[in-house]
A and B are shown apart, each in its own frame.
Chain A
Amino acid sequence: MALVFIVTLVQDSTFKSVNETSVPLLFVDNDKDSLSFQLENSLTQAHFFTTSKKNISVDEAKQLVATGKFLMAVIVPENISKKLRNKAKAKISKAFNPNDSIINDDSELQLQLFFDPITKQSFKVTISSAIDKIVSGIEMQSLTKELSQQLKQNFPNAKPIAFDSKPLVTTIQQYASTNETSLVPNSVQHNVPAWTMFAMFFICIPLSANIIRERDDGSAFRLLTMSGSYLNVLMGKILIYLLVNLIQFVLMLCVGIYFLPMLGLPQLQIGNNFFTLLVVALSSGLAACGFGLLVGTIAGSVDQAALFGAVSIVILAALGGVWIPTFVMPEFMRKISSISPLNWGLEAFYGVFVRGLSLGGIFIYLLKLKLFFVACVSGAFYYQVYRRMR
């Protein structure tokens, strides 16, 4: 439970940066004219950047980004607004009077962008595109303003044309969730199910230790000499540990729903499909208990079981996306992660919590978890038969 608190808090800013992308940006305005004002205004309104304005040199700005104080810097050169207006005027005049000998200024108007070297290429492309879009809007405004003035000069009786600079085509972005309430993946939505799966699989340690202790103290010997099926004994154990797992599951959900919001984190949204959620919890619990049973049957001592159990769960958890979500993993790791039962459980929980899927939608993960359980129990049963009968 402590892990959920700590890791969720630690990852919260990471998820926010992925989801909300609040980039610390240094804005150096050497223009102090319309373009820099509009650009600064647009950057602030985009809620995409945390803008800090400083009157410093280009080299100083570069140094601040290089030392990691800012993720990027935008340098607006001197007189760029004036040059933009002149260029726009020249372009529009040329369009109206192609034979005029207006001297066209071919020099390029450039904004300088500096990026922190740790930023990925994809980040640079995204940010550059966002700034290009803002600058294009400002350019378009300059051109339309100049066009309007030229029209007024050439056609004095014409009514002034008001250009609406709003884009004609826009995009709507939504998360592909079947939930009525569109849920945003955040640190809580990831960490609560992830660490719930981790905790559920850690039942392996006490369960395997119990099996080994029974074997060492002769209880297993006595139980095996009874006429009832030893499989019933194993199933009885699984039922009890499954119950413990379910209690653990409910407590973890309570942490996500009631306690994490007290720390300023988002509340866990579990959707409305409680039956599906119960089936996922049962399937995950069964898989965890089955694994514990297998480890307890094969391991020679409590120490061996504890060591192997803990290490294998940590590996399966790492592969399964408990610490680092699979969507940020490289492609080949994502393929490997699909062999981890923790990943199946996690994907099933995501299916219910984030994607709002029904039983049918997560059927494949539930099937994998149950097959894993059957394989583990069968393995444990036949291994102990083999060990006795070999």
Chain B
Amino acid sequence: MENQFVEIQNISKLYKGSLVPAVNNISLQIKKQSVFGLLGPNGAGKTTLISMLCGLFKPDSGKIFVDGFNTISESKKTKQIIGVVPQEIALYAKLTAWENLMFLGQMYGIESVELKKRINEHLQILGLEENKNQQIRTFSGGMKRRINLIAGLLHHPKLLILDEPTVGIDVQSKTAIINHLKKINKEQGTTIFYTSHHLDEAQDFCTHIAIIDEGKLITEGETNEVIKKNNCKTIEEVYLNITGQKFRD
């Protein structure tokens, strides 16, 4: 219990006007410095769960604790230790990469000299140093994703929440992002909570996996354990066995 960094206790969420809960009595425990992959088809409840984890949505029932802080009653403290990389490219298209990162870093209250140092470090690692003075709208999808990631890392969060961080980008950008995340996880001890539809990527990247469908938790555990207990060879096989072949549009 002491080693658990995130504690999700029986949370449920039913949207107004909907008959089926988006999240239905889910409990999870996420260990410190682990890479936790939340997998599930479209509409499974992943984004709702992330929104509740960030303290943006209030669960109808249940509680979430991040590093011991209740995400609703102690939302300010929770927000100080989490970093969020949304699925959308949440950047200002007409600002340069540098201006975007400076603005978002200042919003986190990082001191200017330190902020510039951190931005330069991340830009260098992710191969964007030469493009830092270009407007975001001129960037390729992969470049935007890398800037989107940096924006969530600037304040050195203890918990990094990533909603499909590698969607729609080339293999080079994907590799750069995953390698950078692995490095941060290892060197800074950052706990990572990650969602993706790239199941091979998730299998390689995540230490722990949970699969949810229709708002319910289907299976969870260490990645290898999950594969083993479901008598499969890959996470993709587990996933298809559990969620079926039916389209979820």
CB distance from A220 to the nearest CB of B (A): 8
CB of B56 within 8 A of CB of A222, answer no
CB distance from B51 to the nearest CB of A (A): 8
CB of B76 within 8 A of CB of A221, answer no
Which chain A residues in 231-284 approach chain B with CB under 8 Å?
233
Given contacts A217-B89, A218-B90, A219-B91, contact A227 B84 (CB under 8 A): no
Which chain B residues in 102-132 approach chain A with CB under 8 Å?
104, 107-109
CB of A225 within 8 A of CB of B57, answer no
Is A390 interfacial (CB-CB < 8 Å)?
yes
CB of A222 within 8 A of CB of B84, answer yes
Is A364 interfacial (CB-CB < 8 Å)?
no
- In the complex, what residues of B have CB within 8 A of residue A233's CB? 107
Is B16 interfacial (CB-CB < 8 Å)?
yes
CB of A226 within 8 A of CB of B58, answer no
Given contacts A222-B104, A222-B151, A227-B79, contact A389 B58 (CB under 8 A): yes
Q: How far is the CA of A353 from the CA of B31 in the complex (A)?
A: 68
Q: How far is the CA of A217 from the CA of B82 in the complex (A)?
A: 20
Given contacts A218-B89, A219-B90, contact A225 B56 (CB under 8 A): yes
Q: How far is the CA of A226 from the CA of B80 in the complex (A)?
A: 7
Interface bits B84-110 vs A (CB < 8 Å: 1, else 0): 101111111000000000001001110
Is B212 interfacial (CB-CB < 8 Å)?
no
- Helix, strand, loop or mixed for chain B's interface? loop
CB-nearest residue of chain A relative to B104?
A222
Given contacts A388-B57, A389-B58, contact A223 B87 (CB under 8 A): no
Within 8 Å by CB of A225, from B55, B92, B109, lies: B55
CB distance from A69 to the nearest CB of B (A): 60
CB distance from B128 to the nearest CB of A (A): 19
Is A167 interfacial (CB-CB < 8 Å)?
no
CB of B84 within 8 A of CB of A390, answer no
CB of B87 within 8 A of CB of A218, answer yes
CB of B109 within 8 A of CB of A228, answer yes
- Helix, strand, loop or mixed for chain A's interface? helix
CB-nearest residue of chain A relative to B76?
A227
CB of B89 within 8 A of CB of A225, answer no
Is B39 interfacial (CB-CB < 8 Å)?
no
Is B22 interfacial (CB-CB < 8 Å)?
no
CB of B54 within 8 A of CB of A225, answer yes
Is A56 interfacial (CB-CB < 8 Å)?
no
**Residues of B in contact, count (CB < 8 Å):** 25
- In the complex, what residues of A have CB within 8 A of residue B91's CB? 217, 219
Interface bits B34-52 vs A (CB < 8 Å: 1, else 0): 0000000000000000010
CB of A228 within 8 A of CB of B107, answer yes
CB of A226 within 8 A of CB of B90, answer no
Is A224 interfacial (CB-CB < 8 Å)?
yes
Q: How far is the CA of A222 from the CA of B150 in the complex (A)?
A: 13
Interface bits A186-224 vs B (CB < 8 Å: 1, else 0): 000000000000000000000000000000111101111
How extensive is the interface on chain A, given as a class? 10 to 19
Q: How far is the CA of A222 from the CA of B108 in the complex (A)?
A: 11
Given contacts A218-B87, A390-B16, contact A223 B56 (CB under 8 A): no
CB-nearest residue of chain B relative to A236?
B107
Q: How far is the CA of A223 from the CA of B86 in the complex (A)?
A: 11
Q: How far is the CA of A390 from the CA of B54 in the complex (A)?
A: 16
Q: How far is the CA of A218 from the CA of B56 in the complex (A)?
A: 13
- In the complex, what residues of A have CB within 8 A of residue B76's CB? 227
Q: How far is the CA of A389 from the CA of B91 in the complex (A)?
A: 25
Q: How far is the CA of A226 from the CA of B161 in the complex (A)?
A: 12
- In the complex, what residues of A have CB within 8 A of residue B88's CB? 216-218, 221
Q: Interface centre among A218, A222, A224, by most B CB within 10 Å? A: A222
- In the complex, what residues of A have CB within 8 A of residue B104's CB? 222
CB distance from A302 to the nearest CB of B (A): 15
CB distance from A238 to the nearest CB of B (A): 16
- In the complex, what residues of A have CB within 8 A of residue B80's CB? 227
CB distance from A206 to the nearest CB of B (A): 14
CB distance from A231 to the nearest CB of B (A): 13
Q: How far is the CA of A225 from the CA of B51 in the complex (A)?
A: 9
CB of B90 within 8 A of CB of A221, answer yes
Q: How far is the CA of A222 from the CA of B92 in the complex (A)?
A: 12
Report 16 cross-chain contacts, Cβ distance below 8 Å, ordered by A residue. Answer: A218-B87, A219-B90, A219-B92, A222-B84, A222-B90, A222-B104, A223-B107, A224-B54, A225-B55, A225-B79, A226-B107, A228-B108, A233-B107, A388-B56, A389-B57, A390-B16
Task: Rank and list the top 6 A-B pairs by shortest CB-CB distance, nearest first.
Answer: A218-B88, A218-B90, A218-B86, A227-B79, A389-B58, A225-B84
Chain B interface residues (CB < 8 Å from chain A): 16, 51, 54-58, 76, 79-80, 82, 84, 86-92, 104, 107-109, 151-152
For the A-B complex with A221-B51, A225-B84, A390-B16 known, give 17 more contacts whose Cβ atoms are closer than 8 Å. Answer: A216-B88, A217-B88, A217-B90, A218-B89, A218-B90, A221-B56, A221-B84, A221-B86, A222-B86, A222-B90, A223-B107, A225-B56, A226-B79, A227-B109, A388-B57, A389-B57, A389-B58
